[in-house]
């Protein structure tokens, strides 16, 4: 890392540790007070020049490389609210709009999204079909004159209850090949026929100011034909381009969670006295510390390698799949050991480990379950063993 970036990274660390983490008890309330406090944090991040650093400069961001963004996400991930406070929450959607949107779409939706003035959401998963198989999407959009008529039933539409729009993935080409049937259409959430059916409580994220995981229903919703994102039938490709980099963002934020759990574990081991000595003097506790350090070290190296592959122009499907699967398990294991060292305190809400642990279990499912990623990696390597990340040119 060059000196300028090292300084920036230090500034982000200070902001997260000194401002965001101390605000967590207020932010956890999920009420008007929490929303106001989050607004103060966001304003302070902008004042310090720390806002939306990973976005391209042409859309109002800091213009950092993918690898640099990954390094920052490691720090931002120390707090569940870091993404919101520093303007990185909607990066996947911002990049999708930047790459696929028309000039009119970018002006209306992208600029305020990057500025943090509005929130986005994406409607992919449906309760009636397997979310891991996008070829099964049953939602439909039919072109009627100069309008799309959208009928859809989605869930886990994150943030739909506070979003200005949802990018809905629906079948527009029913006779096409399985991966060419779906298109992406921007639907403002205030459009007649758009309904948030309920907020679905999920592990560690119940009723959060980050936005709930929502079940939504669109009944004969009409939007302009110009709301098509990308080309007709490109929905699968657009969705995969959105999900791929996002999985590395998740994996690096998981690293931040691991590091925070590690810090809490070591602090507890040094202060807690039991059975004649402090915990740090006991072999089993030292084993927990050493194993967690190894897990963090290896996960960090893997994420950096995957980010470098993306920066080189690769889709990095193998690297991303491996990082997503193994990282989610390591995240769980590190937090689990930290809870064990804390004893009974670790299973209470008196430490952040309680919510961190519940969110860690969720990581093995969102953005693709373990089973799908393992199968994809094995299929790709089975066809071409030279795609392994350690291949020599």
pLDDT tens, residue order, the chain (393 aa):
789 999 999 999 999 999 999 999 999 998 999 999 999 999 999 999 999 998 889 988 999 998 999 899 999 999 999 999 999 888 889 989 999 999 999 999 999 999 999 999 999 999 999 888 889 999 999 999 999 999 999 999 989 999 999 999 999 999 999 999 999 999 999 999 999 999 988 887 765 777 888 999 999 999 999 999 999 999 999 988 887 777 888 999 999 999 999 999 999 999 999 999 999 999 999 999 999 999 999 999 999 999 999 889 888 899 999 999 999 999 999 999 999 999 999 999 999 999 999 999 999 998 889 999 999 999 999 999 989 988 766
Identify the H or E element spanning 349.
none
pLDDT of residue 239: 87
Tokens of 123: 């409607």
pLDDT of residue 130: 86
pLDDT of residue 207: 56
pLDDT of residue 168: 98
| Measured distance CA(158)–CA(164) in Å, rounded | 12
Tokens of 69: 């963004």
| Other CB atoms within 10 Å distance of the CB of residue 288 | 23
Residues 183, 148 contacting (CB under 8 angstroms): no
pLDDT of residue 206: 61
Angle between helix axes 66-76 and 283-311 (nearest 10 degrees) is 150
| Measured distance CA(166)–CA(58) in Å, rounded | 23
Helix ranges, the chain (H): 3-15, 24-27, 32-47, 66-76, 82-86, 91-100, 103-105, 111-114, 235-271, 283-311, 317-342, 353-362, 370-383
| Measured distance CA(46)–CA(36) in Å, rounded | 16
For the chain, give the number of residues: 393
| Measured distance CA(35)–CA(231) in Å, rounded | 37
Q: What is the pTM for the complete model shown?
A: 0.91
């Amino acid at each position: 890392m060059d000196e300028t970036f090292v300084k920036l990274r230090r500034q982000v660390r200070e902001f997260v540790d000194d401002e965001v983490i101390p605000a967590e008890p207020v932010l956890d309330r999920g009420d008007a007070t929490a929303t106001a406090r989050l607004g103060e944090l966001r304003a302070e991040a902008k004042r310090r020049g720390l806002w939306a650093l990973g976005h391209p400069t042409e859309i109002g961001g800091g213009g950092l490389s993918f690898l640099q963004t990954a390094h920052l996400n490691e720090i931002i991930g120390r707090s569940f609210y870091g993404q919101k406070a520093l303007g990185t929450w909607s990066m996947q959607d911002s990049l999708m709009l930047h790459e696929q949107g028309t000039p009119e779409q970018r002006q209306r939706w992208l600029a305020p999204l990057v500025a943090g003035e509005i929130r986005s959401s994406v409607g992919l998963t449906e309760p009636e079909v397997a979310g891991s198989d996008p070829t099964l999407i049953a939602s439909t959009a039919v072109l009627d004159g100069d309008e799309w008529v959208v009928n859809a039933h989605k869930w886990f539409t994150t943030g739909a209850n506070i979003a200005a729009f949802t990018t809905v993935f629906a079948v527009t080409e029913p006779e096409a090949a399985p991966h060419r049937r779906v298109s992406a259409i921007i639907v403002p959430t205030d459009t007649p026929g758009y309904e948030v059916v309920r907020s679905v409580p999920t592990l560690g994220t119940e009723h959060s100011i980050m936005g709930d995981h929502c079940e939504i229903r669109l009944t004969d919703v009409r939007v302009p034909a110009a709301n098509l994102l990308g080309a007709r039938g490109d929905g699968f490709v657009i969705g995969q381009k959105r999900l791929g980099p996002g999985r590395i963002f998740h994996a690096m934020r998981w690293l931040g969670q691991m590091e925070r759990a590690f810090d809490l574990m070591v602090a507890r081991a040094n202060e807690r006295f039991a059975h004649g000595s402090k915990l740090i003097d006991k072999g089993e506790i030292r084993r927990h510390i050493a194993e967690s350090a190894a897990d963090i070290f290896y996960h960090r190296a893997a994420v950096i390698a995957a980010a470098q592959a993306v920066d080189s122009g690769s889709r990095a499907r193998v690297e991303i799949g491996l990082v997503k699967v193994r990282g989610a398990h390591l995240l769980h294991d590190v937090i689990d050991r930290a809870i064990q060292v804390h004893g009974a305190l670790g299973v209470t809400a008196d430490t952040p480990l309680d919510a961190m642990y519940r969110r860690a279990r969720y990581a093995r499912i969102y953005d693709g379950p373990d089973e799908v990623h393992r199968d994809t990696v094995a299929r790709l390597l089975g066809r071409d063993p030279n795609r392994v990340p350690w291949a020599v040119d």
